[in-house]
Amino acid sequence: MILHVDISRKRYRPDGPAILQDLRFSLDAGEIVALVGPSGCGKTTLLRLIAGLDRDYEGELAWAGAPRLGIAFQEPLLLPWRTVRENLALVERPDTPPGLSDELLAALGLAAEGNTFAARLSLGMARRVALARAFAVEPTLLLLDEPFVSLDEATASRGRELLLEVWARRPTSILLVTHDLAEATMLADRVLFLSGTPARIEREAVLPWEDRRQGTERAAALAASRRRTGFQTADTRDRG
């Protein structure tokens, strides 16, 4: 286990409504967990807490060792005035192996863009650079917030495949926030369903081993069948 999340309550104002309540789950090393839920239910709030960007909450985040985070959010948040390679160099640590950025850029199909200013990239490319940057810190946990939203389907699914390729090469835990069940099914080992106000984990589904990461079509079919049955199968535990 690398992280245990135990958030009893998160509010934005002391007298305001709770956004998150009684939220508990753990992440194991090398595991991909998807958080699925309707937009506005508090998924991004949760990611910001875990990323350490918001420390105003009741509860505890228990890390095994010092956390090393890579993040790729909806907005790629690259430095537009720096080149692709300089954007990766920004987050490098003293112990980063020298060839890592080039290896990641090549793996994500960006080998030719190393010297391009980030301001000149298309959204799809900028997202891939953001992924490369997130892997460049050799994170213990990668936080992804809708990393492929508002891309055309072909670009998005190519992005997912590349993500899995890089992850297979440089395994790390990933917490992925998405509203797209098919995306969650394609990428994750486990899916946590977040809903309600305040948001809590309604259900947790472990994807069958033989169905994991078997490509877009199989994932879409699985997601469709799960949507019909409401995930009420043997691998589903009600969390109430």
- The reply on whether position 53 binds another protein by CB under 8 A is yes
Q: Among residues 139 and 223, whose Cβ is nearest to another protein?
A: 139
CB of 50: closest distance to another protein in angstroms?
Answer: 10
Taking CB under 8 A as the criterion, the residue among 8, 18, 61, 69 binding another protein is 69
CB of 120: closest distance to another protein in angstroms?
Answer: 5
- The reply on whether position 12 binds another protein by CB under 8 A is no
Distance (Å) of CA 224 to CA 96, 179, 182, 183: 41, 14, 8, 12
**3-state DSSP assignment of residue 21:** strand
CB of 206: closest distance to another protein in angstroms?
Answer: 29
Q: Among residues 77 and 100, whose Cβ is nearest to another protein?
A: 77
- The reply on whether position 119 binds another protein by CB under 8 A is yes
DSSP 159: H
| Cα–Cα distance, 167 to 195 (Å, whole number) | 28
- The reply on whether position 51 binds another protein by CB under 8 A is yes
- The reply on whether position 82 binds another protein by CB under 8 A is yes
Residues in the chain: 240
> One symbol per residue from 174 to 203: x for binding another protein (CB under 8 A), - otherwise; what is it?
------------------------------
Size of site (CB under 8 A) for another protein: 24
CB of 1: closest distance to another protein in angstroms?
Answer: 21
- CA 6 to chain CA centroid, nearest Å: 19
- Give me the half-sphere count of Cα atoms (radius 13 Å) on the Cβ side of residue 183: 26
Tokens of 25: 């789950």
Tokens of 193: 């369903």
Helix axes 123-136, 100-107, angle to 10 degrees: 140
- The reply on whether position 120 binds another protein by CB under 8 A is yes
